[in-house]
Each structure stands twice: as C-alpha cells, then as structure tokens.
Structure 1
Amino acid sequence: MSNEHYLRNPLIHRDRRLGKSRSTWVAGFDCSDLRPLIICRGPIRKEAMDVFTEMGIVHFGILLSEKDSIVYQNALAPELRSLTDPDRIHRVPDYTGANKEERNERIAQIISIARDNDYNAIFAGYGFMAEDEGMVAAMERAGLNFIGPCSRTVHDAGLKDEAKRTALKTGVSVTPGIDNATALTLLKKHPDVAALKALCDMHGLPVDTAKLDDDSISLEDKADFVLAASYNQGIDLYTVEELSDTLVEAVKRMQADYPRNRVRLKAISGGGGKGQRILGIGQYERTAELVREILNEVKTTGVGDNKNVLVELNIETTRHQEIQVLGNGDWCVTLGGRDCSLQMHEQKLLEVSVTVESLRAAIAEAETTGKATEAEVLRQDLATLEEMEDEASRFGAAVGLDSVSTFECIVDRDKHFFMEMNTRIQVEHRVTELCYALKFTNPDLDDDYFVVESLVEAMVLLAVHGPHLPRPTRLLRHNDSVEARLNATDQALRPSAGGIIEDWSDALEGEIRDDQGISLHNPDTDVFMKYTLAGAYDSNIALLLTVGDSRLDTYQKMAETLRRTRMRGKELATNLEFHYGLVNWFIGQNINARPTTRFIVPYLTLVGALKDQANNIDLEFAWREICQQQLKGHSEVAAKGLQSSVELKKTLLMRPLQQLLDSPHILSGWLSINRDCYTLIEGKVCWNENPIELLADTYHFLNMDYVPGAPAASMIWDHDHDILQEALDFYTELNNRLDAPDWIALQTQLDTEEAPAGMSGSTWTQVRAAHKGFQAGVDIMAVLPSIAEAIRYFDLGVNTDLSIHIPDQLLDEDLQTRMAKVLVPPVTARADEILAESGGMFYGRESPEHTVYVSEGDQFAAGDPLYIVEVMKMFNKVYAPFAGTVEKVLVETDGVIIQKGQPLFKITPDEKIEVISPEAVAARKRELTAGFLQQVI
C-alpha cells in the first residue's frame, strides 16, 4: 500500500498523510455519501469544510448567523466564497438561542433545514450546542447522523455531575466535592420516597415507580430521576434561592474540611471557561451571588432548566492537563496529553503537547546533564501521563464513547484528579493530531491499512463506519507541538471587541495557522479583506501552531513565528505581544517548567510592574545625562569628536529602547532571554557581552532587521544600519586578531595601553579610539536591566524541581488590580462621570429578577458593583473605583451595546480628585530617571 504526503497549503493550514490504497477494504470506508450541515463558526468551520472536501464529501452546507454579517466589510468570508451554491448557506438569527425556548426553536430550525436541503448529517464542532444532549438526541430522533458522541455519551460523560458519578464507579480519581446539589435541595422539601411519589403525581411526572421502590438505588439518585422528568416537562421543583442555600452549606463544609483551599463552583453545562467561579477562603457568604452569575453566564435561568452547580475543592497548585481519547463504542484509545495550565479566567492561552516520547527524551537529557531533580520530576510526569491515559480509556469505555472526546484532569505534583469530559472536538485538538496519527489496519492483512492525521476526519469515519473500524494504533508524527491562541484582548488580557484587522502578514514556513480563513487574500485582487472582530462571539482570532523534535525546538519555532507576525488595524488589540513575551520567558527560564493555572496573573502583574517602572523613565533626559558623563575628562578636541560619535548613534540606540519601554510584554521576553548578558557589581550594570552585539540582537528580536525597501517605521534606519554594521565588522575583525575568549577578556585588553603582539602602537591607539567611539552612548541600554533589578524581575523563576517560584507580592490582589490598570490605563474621565472600561453589552443588574445595582440618587462606596458588561461571551462585573453619588444613569436599559469610553453615569465623587500638572509629572520622571542612572553611570 502506498501512502503519499498531502499538503493542502503547508504554510497556512494543516498537512495530512492520507491513505491512497486502492484495496477493497480501504475503499469500504468511503464517506462521500455523507451530506453534512455545519452548525458552528470560527476556525473549526473552515477546517471541517476543508476536511470534507479532501474526503470527497461534496454536498455540505453551513449555518450563517446574522451576527456574522458584520465581520467582513463589503466582502464575502472565505467559507462563503468557497461555497459557490448560495442554497448551501442557511441564515439564522444565531447559532443557539438565549434561553431554553429559543434553543429548542433553533434545534427545530436546524432539523427543518437539513430535511429541506437533503443533508443527512450534522457537524457541531466546538462551542454553541456541540455538547447539548437535547440537541444531539433531537438530531438522532430526526434520523440525522450526528458527527460526534451520541446522546447517551453526552449525557453520561458530558454533564459534569453524571461524569463524576461514572468516574467514581470506574475507579477514576476525582476531586473532593458534591455533584448533586439539586437532588439534595429537592430532598430538603421532599425527604423520602413517599414524598417523591406524591410530587410526581402532583405534576404528572413520568418516573418509573420500580426505580423509586428499588432499595439498591440511593435516595439521591431517585431524586435525580424525578428532577430529570421535571426538566423534560419544563417545570421547576426548586428555586435558585433554595439551591443557593444548599450550596452555601456545602461550601461551608468544604472550607471547614480544607481551610487552606479555595472552593470552585461550576455549572454542569459550562465549558470554555464559562460557568465557573472560585470562592476565596472564608468567602462562603458570596456563594449565592456567584451562583446567580454562573447560571446567567451559561443561560440556564429559565423554567425547567437543569441548574445544578458542582462544589469542588480548588487544588491550588493545579496543572490543567487533558487526554485526547476516541472510540467506536467497542474499543477506546488515547492519543497522549496536552498541558493547558497557561490560562487566565479559565480561558486557555498556550497549550503544549505531552507525549511519552517527548518526556522520555527530556528525562534522558536531564540525566545526561546531571539534573537529577529535574529528571525525577519528569519521570513522575511520565507515570502520571500513563495513568491518565489508562483512566481516560476506561472512562471512555464506561460511557460508550463512539467519537472524539477529551478527558480533562488537574494534576497536583504526584496526584491527579478527573475533572470532566468534553464530548466534542476541542479548540486545541491540533496540538494532538500534530503529534500522533491513527493507523487503521485490515484485521486480515497487515499490509492493508490507511492513516488518518485529522481528528475531524476521524470523527467522520466514526460517524459513518464506527462499528466496522478496527482498533487503530497511534503513529508518532512529532515529539512536541505547541499552540498559541491569538485573541482579541488588550494588554491586560481582557476581551477587546470591535477592532478591525486591516492587514496580517502571511504565514511563515513551519507555521500552522488556523483562522477560519481571515488571513487569506481576495483571490481576484490579492488584497487583504478587512475583518471586524465582533463582540458577539469569543475573543479568538486564530490558532498558531508549531512542531519540533523537542519542546525547546517547538518553542523556539513559535517565538520566531510570533517575532515575524505583523497585524495592524483600527482599534485593534490582540495578545500577540503577550505570547511573544511569554514564550521567550520560558525559553530563557526552563522550557520544562511546570506552571500551574495560577501562574498567568502573577506573571501579568510582573509585566505590569515593568511598565510601571518604564513609565518613570525619561529616556531623553537619560540620554543627555549619559552623553555629558562620557564627555567628562576628555580634552576639548577629543570631547568634540566623541560627542559627534555619540550624536550619530542617538536614533540607533533610542528607537529600540523606546519600543521596549513602550511594550512591556516584549520587554519581559527580552529580559528573560538576555538575563545572563549583564552582572550587577556594586550597584552598577556591567555587561558580560558586547553591548553592540546585544543591540544588533535586540533589533532582530524586535523584528526591525534591515530590509531594503521595507517601511522605515518597521526596521532599522539606513544610516543607523550602516553605523551598526561598521561596529559589528570592527569587533568581528578584532576578535579574529586578538586572543580574547569573551567580551570581558576583550575589554581588559582594550583597557591596556600596550599593543598586543603583532600590532603596532599607532594601530593599537587607533583601535582603542575606534572602540571608544563605537561604545560611546551604549550605556543607555543599561536602563533595561536596571528596571528589572528595581522590580526584582528575576525573582519570578523556575525552581530545580521545575515548579515556579512566585514571590508573595505578585499574589497580592490589590497589586494585581493596580498593575492591570497600568497595562491598560482607564479611559480619561472627568471628575463627574464614570466611563465604560470596555465595549460590550451593558447590564445594570445581576439578573432580570434583581434590582439594578445603582439608580439615580444612590450612594455607592469604592468597590461596590456598578454594572456588568458582556464582552465576547464573558460576563465582567465592574466595580466603583471610588465612593460617590449617582446623579444620572446614562444607559436607558439592559442589553444595549456600549463602547469603550462611553459615559455611563453622571456622578458626584465624595472626595475631590487631585489633578497633577504635566510639569510635576515631568519633574518626577526626571528625578526617578536620575535614580536609575546611578546603576548606569
């Protein structure tokens, strides 16, 4: 059998090895008769369309939400342009409803569209209704082939309470907590079987009496039977207040049993970071408030909605890992793991593969280099991975998994706990499929097989031929892969809707970019099509991936991808710089570091501290001071020549320095990879390498290399390039002529008046003079490490056991809040108004049943909630920055779209706000800069 390497577009999308055998057995797994309707959006929609086409599936269609109409201005999205038949584009108000009634309407509409347009299958991707048991069951009843786990699996594994019970029955480790708060709430009101039967009779609930009479079934499970029937009937048997009372009691017990841990509240239908809140130690009184927030966020506040909320111990040192698992209802296999610990507000940011092959290689390297502690940690990681894969396989078999799903765990040192199973394809599934492929072999003929490298393709095969597919073996493609989620967020990683992408550099060789086709140019004009980042959906723009032979290799490729990626537009904010800084932080520290889910906020706080210090630097003042200092002690002639040399280099030195001071995320990455370039001796920055070479590296790090014809704003200027190249050539020649193993040795020689062997005295004098000229002014670069020293930047570091040391001050919530505002300063407001911190949808109350937070005439204290803004599917409560009185509410009603900087309230503050004059600010900056210069000159 011949297998060919197939590349649809190696620079932008995926590569896949497809079986090309003509054997009858392989041909029997043809899927071209499938006619799927795609009911999702984003990168997964474009990916599904591409995979279907590659598989020979030609009849497929998509839903198109009305909210999608604004993302491309005066142009068709790539998905629409590739669908030449307009009848295969089906317009709907949105991809799901805002409540249970609208969701049922959308399900019925999807079934009607499928029947009317000859579709026989449904692909839901991720998000929206991908894990909605009712939707899946409705498709099955309608005779449609759902490309994903069946409704039984979605129920048993997808609902977090059911999944936890199944895990306990199958010997899978779970976190301490309760998963049946609704059942306990019901039993408070109806405490025995007789009461439950009476309740069923009262409401006409069709519950099997035999189950209620079965003594082998627990009373809590019997209550769940009654609740399930009530949900189907669309009635409520408990109120949110009654449920909250039960949860408050559970939280109190949990905090009493585990006084050092926080408690997590989690909706059973949440996902993607939604529907979860963490209660601080001793904060049980906030339980009811957070329960309402959770239910609002997952839109389960309607009559008859299952409002169950789990209470779980929050493992404080947790790493979030997940196992990719798939099955056909008979066999179940795993494809390694992914570490998703680098996240914020439950939103994943950077996801890294975890494979047996990679861990074994890392263990061998650690042992070879004498890192015994690191090797021991990696061996434990390997054992944990193998245990989780075994549990994932057993759990998948227990729930009858017949498609692709993800087994999610939290890892705490040498322990791990099952968290939930996502019964859908994950956003980060590409991290796995780039590491492993699936080989399906004819049971009767070993040489007859086909290889699948796409999990979406595997889903299709399982949907069409599941029972007939033999158990596959996994084939290694790459040891490691990493994915960076490019999101529309500001510098503090808060969602930022409404921006327009006007240009995006092409993908590089080795970069894999999944972006629903945003970066593809118009095929007729080759012009980039502007794309509007609508706030109706989550903040993801694209998924950037790289692969390698080791984690370091993979991260270095990702760093290069991020370095060379350029994106510009109007009101555009992304986390591109954050990723560049973060990836380089790990490269500079230890690529095998084991961050927990609590790492990002302290790291972000540290970056904010960098910016806070950078804001205090008057770079022009520092330049003048350094120049004057370097002219001291020279004759008038020498000083004049030196001054000329210094002035020629002003823009050469100042442009990259200013860019680093303005971009704290990039500065963080620069400091991390250059941490060994200097030493602090008696309070002075002393370079361990030639500052000229460091300057050249800095231009490269900033993607400002000299490129003839490129825009001047994005590269080193011509005359600066000439000066820098002349200096580099000088030191290259000098290093060739002198026996100096490093910069410190070379400096020592250059400080000596006696000429080295083989060089005349006059030549040596010229060399030393040239050296002084080339080095003139470079002391300004010491401002960067001086900032790092001022905030103890390197105190955040990796321990020998690969855990991360987080200084206590970075865990201070007040500091975290202040530094977030440094990264993204609040919009300038007058003293008598409060402006919107971000764009989004405004809500003045916690839920429709509650009163508004503030009305005209109300007094409010600093820290009181003022309003909620929904940005890109996340609900953010905004608190008062100071105390005052509301004079007028400027937003008329809930559910209206607001813009960043829009006035929301007219207020009278309790205290007069002092305004510092620009002159005072400038004087303070000069004073602080002078302090920094003590480490420089």
Structure 2
Amino acid sequence: MSEFSKILIANRGEIACRVIKTAHAMGYETVAVYSDPDRGARHVKMATEAIHIGPAAAAESYLNIESIIAAAKKAGADAVHPGYGFLSENADFAARCEKEGLTFIGPPKDAIHLMGNKAEAKRRMIHAKVPCVPGYEDKDQSDDQFVSAAERIGYPVMVKAAAGGGGRGMRLVTSGDQLKKALETARSEAKNAFGSNELILEKAVVEPRHIEIQILADAHGNCIHLGERDCSIQRRHQKVIEEAPSPAVSETLRTKMGEAAVSAAKAIHYSGAGTVEFLLSQDGEFYFLEMNTRLQVEHPVTELVTGFDLVEWQIRIARGEPLPVTQQEVQLKGHAIEARLYAEDPSKNFLPRVGKVHLWQPAKGEGLRCDHGLETGFEITPHYDPMVAKVIAYGSSREDARRRLMKALKETLDLGLTTNRQFLVDCLDHENFASGKATTGFIENFFPKKALKTRAPSMAETCAAVALQYHLQAYKTGRSTDGWDSSSAGEQLLILEFDGKPNEALIRNSGDRSYQITLQDQTTSLQLLDISENRFRFDYDGHIQSGVFVIADTQAYFGFGTSKLTVEDITHQVSRSDDGEMDSKIMSPMNGRVLKVMVKAGEAVTKGQSLFILEAMKMEHDITAKSEGVIEKLLVSPDQQVASKALLAEIKTT
C-alpha cells in the first residue's frame, strides 16, 4: 500500500481544477503549480497551496521536470497527478517521480514508454493480435521508405507523429505528389510539439467513427473496461464533441472492442486509468489507433453513464487498492454528451483567439456539468491549448442529453472572448448528428469553410444593445432617462463601433426607458424593461426578449444566446484608420511565435505564397501573401513573439 497525503497537480486549467476537487473530497491536501500568467488562475485559488514554476512558455514551466520536482519538494508533496497533456505521458517524468520518492498517479513508466511512441505501440499491438490499420512504423525514416510504403499500402494514407497526438504532426495524403511536402511539415510540427520528428504511415480509413474504450487496471492483475465513447466529431483531428455510449455500437460490438482494449492493456502490464482508441469502419470492422496512458479530456461522459469518479479510481489504484468492481458489475445507464469550448473563431478557419473573459458564468440545471478553469477577468494567452471549458449534459436518453446540452451552451456566458459556442450548438442541432449517423467526416462534409459564418445579432437585438448602452451612459453621467430632462430632449447622433466597425445611430429618448433608434436606414422603437446586474429584458414590437451584458473599460459586451456584439462609443474620438486590412500589409492574425520566415526583403512574391509560419496554441499557421508584389519591409525574424494584428511585412503591390 502506497501512503501519501499531499498531491501536487502538475497541470493547469480545467483538469487541474477537476483533480483538485476529487482530491479534496478524498481528504488530501493539494499543491497547484503556476506559470507567470497563471498566478491568479482558478486552479491556483482552489488548491491548498501553490508554487510558482517559471515563465509563460510551457517548456520553461509546465514541461520543466526540474521545476515540477522542485515545487513538490518545496511544498512537501508526496504524490503527483499529471492530469492530461504536458508531462502526463512522459516516461522520464514518471521515472523521476519514482526516483524522488513521489507516488506517480498514473501508469508505470514502462507502459508510458511503450505506448508513447505510436510506432512501437503498433508493433506491440500487432504482436498481441489486436486489430491494427495497415501501415508503416519501421525505424527507417527516409522519404524513399515512406514513398515505397505508401505505394504498397495504397492512397489515401495518413502521416502521423509517432510521439504525440491531438492532430499535431498529422497530415492526410491523397496522392503521391503530396507526400514529401506532408512529411516535411509533419516532421517540423512534430518536432516542435513533442521533441521528436519520428513519423508513421497508416492507411486512411475513409470516414470512420472514432471509438475509444476506457480501461482501468490495478497492480493486482485486474483489468476492466467501462464501455466506449464516440469521439467522431473532430476538426484538424482534434475532438470537439464526445458522447457515451456510441449510437453506432451494439452490445455485441462493445464486448468485442472492450475485450480487445483489455488485451491491449494486459499486453503491456498496465495499471491505472487509460484509453484504447479505435477506428470503426463503415463495414463494422475496428482497428487499433493508439493508447492514451492517462486520463482523457472526455472522461466526464464515462463518469456520468457509469456513476464512477475516474480520478478517485486513479488515486485508489496509485495507493495500491484493487479495483472495487468486476466487469460484470459495470453497467451503462443513460446518455452523456460533452462539448469542448475553445477560444477560437470558426468563421476564420478555427483560428485560436486570445483575450480577457469579461463575464464568465457556466449554465446550471438538471443533468448539467461544466469542467472549467475560468473566472471573470481571466486572460486567455497564446501559450497554452485553446480549450477553455467542457460543457457536459446527461439524460435518460440521447435526445434528452442532446437537447439539454444545446440549451446549456446557449445559456453559458463567455462575454469578451471569441469562442466556438455557436458552432457547437449548430453541430448538435444538425440532422446528421441528431440521428446518430455522424462520422469523422461530419465537420468537413456539413460545415465547409464557406458555411462557417458568425451569427450576427438581429436588428432588434442590436438596437436593444444601443439603447441599453445609451441608458447606462446617461445614468452614469447623471442625465435623466425619463424624457423630461432638456439635456436628453431631441435626437442624438452616436458613432458606435460594432465589433470594430463604425456605424451611425440616431437615438431619441421617448421617456419611460422607451427609445426610437435609426440604424442602417431602419427606424426601430423599443422599451427597456428589467435591468439587473448583467441581464436585461426589452420589448420590441410586443415581443419581450432578453440579453446579457457587461461594461469593461470603454466597451460594452452583449450576448443574445450564441450571438454576441461588442459596442464602443467613438462619437468623440478621432476617426480610425483601417489600413490594417489593406492587401499590402501582412498582419499577424493572433498572438504567437514566428517559427519560420520564408522570404527576404526585396523578394518578389505571388498571391497566396507562404511568407511566415506562426506557432500559436500548439499549432502551426501558414501566413500567406494577399497580393502579388515585392517585399518592401520585413519586420520580424524567427523565434520572435508577436501580438495579434502586429505588422509582419509590407508588400509593394504590382
């Protein structure tokens, strides 16, 4: 029996908060670790104590083994929970914890090492007779070997980073002329993300389902599975929506996949919580994809349908206890669906976004759960993964869970931050998903780039926002808003920025919080009703509606379901230049690090040519020329940190 009393959580954000919650419930003291920008983060406030481990860059803080070990010693922690991501699947970290006398709440270092490399993992699974996708996973990493293997396997093929996951270092190749370019970019991304440029090749299974099996194993030789999760809704090979159980898995198939997952775990003498991932083809065959030797992001849906706390099980296994149930005692009840809330803009190819959360309030209600590390005022930075929260719904049926989740997403307040909340609702509401037929091709097939548009507020909602901002400004300055004050009589011209775009609004105060507004050549009358701390209602032509708002600095942020609007009064400001949108100016679309500069000053470029590779939130982004011309000014160099909208280069157009 391994005894420990204080657990250090070597992670941040929602998973750190999640682990802290269970650890405290079990009577353990906890230690949070934090980088410079995370000093005021929620996980830091939740823990018993917290230790600073370095600057913002993950390599110097959350990935720094020496800093984590030093923090554990300083706090007197005797166990470490790695969460997921960062060092959770780092065999060297697990070994170091063991050497320092710290209980590692995870699998043995040897199991992490075996499964941490996709090539080695696949070789081991083939030996254990677990069904595997045809592919190439040998040591020879030359381009010629990959070309020969791809021709033997047959296109399309998938290039993958051997040392990692999450879509990094992964490329779909449909023909031979694309392969060498895909190998080059995959190696670069894999090296930056995982420290290894080793790749593997696999036959691309066309539009399969992504099914994973949750397994638990103890140190006494017991191993069980807790059913499956369907993680088919993905973009850039990163999961977006997950559910348990899968609408495509029968009891018979569940048994077969579960037995294969248990065999995989036993083949490497596994203990702890883990996940064996499979591709389920359209003809009903399933193939081993990889094994994640850690807790998964989507573990809450399994917890909801089984009633088990997986973090509690991890801790109990780590202290030497046997599994509390047998396979026959595991029963799945009801249905659970999880949606990942990302700080990103789906209308701009899911570009990661940073900024301050001016109002955060997760939805509450029956069957709802939200795992998050957010608080109002928290700053989302470019240094870490863009996932900021997980919204989960449970119901007695899949339809109950689906509808609850859509409503919860609409009622989640995340003002000030650009997120994919509307996109998640659209996915859940799509007929293909509602009918349980979605595959990994779901987003590509039903949500092409041209269809991903931000839903703007209606004219009524926009005018309500204008009226409320005017009302609040009048209240703040002491002007009357009942229509009788001479200073508020007549019409007033306002110049307002809506999401950064200037508009003219003519507003007349009619008294009793009633306003007549002329905007975009339309005249609207409405009345403001209840106004509370962050909520308001308004009457538009007999239709009473509601919204939420927050005032931060000079801007007002409004929300109407999944529609958002940022309003700033610039009536008395000097007109702003819009030069940033000119084709001749190449601006950074986000905060990040310049990974590559692919041009020189004076060099001729063509429209669409790659100029820079920008790294942000663990992904590489290609910055291209908007027009043909010559590089007149080159303002950045490799490894330079840049802010959103920073000028990278200027092109003299031809």
Structure-1 separation of matches of 2:88 and 2:35: 16
Equivalent residue number for residue 158 of structure 1: 116
Deviation at 1:111, TM superposition (A): 2.7
Count how many residue pairs are aligned between Structure 1 and Structure 2.
Answer: 553
Match of 1:900 among 627, 644, 649: 644
Equivalent residue number for residue 254 of structure 1: 150
Whether contact under 8 Å (1:402, 1:466) holds in the other structure is no
Match of 1:417 among 283, 287, 292: 287
Gap change, CA 1:831 and 1:310, over 3 Å in 2: closer
Structure-1 separation of matches of 2:452 and 2:356: 29
1:556 aligns with 2:403: yes
Deviation at 1:296, TM superposition (A): 3.1
> For residues 363-762 of structure 1, what are the structure 2 equivalents within 5 Å?
378=248, 381-413=250-282, 414-437=284-307, 453-466=308-321, 471=326, 474-476=329-331, 478-492=333-347, 494-510=350-366, 512-519=368-375, 529-569=376-416, 572-586=417-431, 589=432, 591-605=434-448, 608-609=450-451, 709-710=530-531, 717-718=538-539, 720-721=541-542
Structure-2 separation of matches of 1:56 and 1:295: 40
Q: What letter is aligned with 1:878? A: I
Q: What letter is aligned with 1:309? A: L
Deviation at 1:471, TM superposition (A): 4.4
Match of 2:589 among 837, 843, 863: 837
SS at structure 2 position matched to 1:36: strand
Whether contact under 8 Å (1:500, 1:531) holds in the other structure is yes
Deviation at 1:619, TM superposition (A): 9.4
Match of 1:138 among 93, 96, 106: 96
> For residues 112-131 of structure 1, what are the structure 2 equivalents within 5 Å?
112-131=70-89
Equivalent residue number for residue 49 of structure 1: 20
Whether contact under 8 Å (1:270, 1:276) holds in the other structure is no
Deviation at 1:266, TM superposition (A): 1.4
Match of 1:875 among 608, 611, 620: 620
Spell out, residue by residue over 1:367-402, the C-alpha distance to the aligned partner (whole angstroms, 9 max, x if none).
Answer: xxxxxxxxxxx5x65443322111001111111111
Spell out, residue by residue over 1:659-715, the C-alpha distance to the aligned partner (whole angstroms, 9 max, x if none).
Answer: 9xx9xxxxxxxxxxxxxxxxxxxxxxxxxxxxxxxxxxxxxxxxxxx9951479987
Q: What letter is aligned with 1:397? A: K
SS at structure 2 position matched to 1:435: helix
Equivalent residue number for residue 602 of structure 2: 857
Greater fraction of residues in strand: 2
Equivalent residue number for residue 41 of structure 2: 77
1:885 aligns with 2:630: yes
Spell out, residue by residue over 1:184-214, the C-alpha distance to the aligned partner (whole angstroms, 9 max, x if none).
Answer: 3xxxxxxxxxxxxxxxxxxxxxxxxxxxxxx
Deviation at 1:431, TM superposition (A): 1.1
Query: More deviation in 535-544 or 868-877?
Result: 868-877
Match of 2:205 among 298, 315, 338: 315
Whether contact under 8 Å (1:490, 1:574) holds in the other structure is yes
Structure-2 separation of matches of 1:472 and 1:900: 51
Equivalent residue number for residue 97 of structure 1: 59
Structure-2 separation of matches of 1:708 and 1:885: 57
Deviation at 1:458, TM superposition (A): 0.4
Gap change, CA 1:879 and 1:252, over 3 Å in 2: farther
SS at structure 1 position matched to 2:631: strand
Structure-1 separation of matches of 2:62 and 2:301: 32
Q: What letter is aligned with 2:268? A: V
Q: What letter is aligned with 1:89? A: I
Match of 2:240 among 333, 345, 349: 349
Equivalent residue number for residue 822 of structure 1: none
Gap change, CA 1:485 and 1:511, over 3 Å in 2: farther
Whether contact under 8 Å (2:583, 2:626) holds in the other structure is no
* Higher-Rg member (1/2): 1
TM-score (norm 1): 0.55
Structure-2 separation of matches of 1:490 and 1:142: 43
Structure-1 separation of matches of 2:76 and 2:535: 52
1:334 aligns with 2:225: yes
SS at structure 2 position matched to 1:119: coil
Equivalent residue number for residue 162 of structure 2: 268
Equivalent residue number for residue 727 of structure 1: none
Structure-2 separation of matches of 1:272 and 1:122: 23
Structure-1 separation of matches of 2:127 and 2:374: 46
1:277 aligns with 2:171: yes
Deviation at 1:886, TM superposition (A): 0.7
Q: What letter is aligned with 2:34? A: L
Q: What letter is aligned with 2:168? A: K
Spell out, residue by residue over 1:522-544, the C-alpha distance to the aligned partner (whole angstroms, 9 max, x if none).
Answer: xxxxxxx3111111001111100
Gap change, CA 1:836 and 1:116, over 3 Å in 2: closer
Deviation at 1:604, TM superposition (A): 2.4
What's the Cα RMSD here?
A: 3.2
Q: What letter is aligned with 2:35? A: S
Gap change, CA 1:32 and 1:55, over 3 Å in 2: farther
SS at structure 2 position matched to 1:326: strand
Whether contact under 8 Å (1:840, 1:898) holds in the other structure is yes
Structure-2 separation of matches of 1:538 and 1:610: 22
Whether contact under 8 Å (1:384, 1:415) holds in the other structure is no
Deviation at 1:152, TM superposition (A): 1.2
Q: What letter is aligned with 1:411? A: L
Greater fraction of residues in helix: 1
Whether contact under 8 Å (2:84, 2:296) holds in the other structure is yes
SS at structure 2 position matched to 1:482: strand
Whether contact under 8 Å (2:362, 2:370) holds in the other structure is no
Equivalent residue number for residue 515 of structure 2: none
SS at structure 2 position matched to 1:434: helix
Query: More deviation in 285-294 or 324-333?
Result: 285-294
Structure-2 separation of matches of 1:837 and 1:275: 22
Whether contact under 8 Å (2:57, 2:383) holds in the other structure is no
Whether contact under 8 Å (1:495, 1:872) holds in the other structure is no
Which of structures 1 and 2 has the larger relative contact order (alpha carbons within 8 angstroms, sep 6+)?
1
Q: What letter is aligned with 2:582? A: R
| Superposed structure 1 runs of 4+ greater than 6 Å apart | 711-716
Query: More deviation in 156-165 or 388-397?
Result: 156-165
Q: What letter is aligned with 1:351? A: E
Structure-2 separation of matches of 1:110 and 1:412: 42
Gap change, CA 1:833 and 1:389, over 3 Å in 2: same
Deviation at 1:896, TM superposition (A): 2.6
Deviation at 1:477, TM superposition (A): 6.1
Gap change, CA 1:39 and 1:590, over 3 Å in 2: closer
Equivalent residue number for residue 466 of structure 2: none
Whether contact under 8 Å (1:321, 1:337) holds in the other structure is yes
Structure-2 separation of matches of 1:504 and 1:555: 23
Whether contact under 8 Å (1:322, 1:340) holds in the other structure is yes
Match of 1:62 among 17, 32, 52: 32
Gap change, CA 1:904 and 1:113, over 3 Å in 2: closer
Q: What letter is aligned with 1:574? A: T
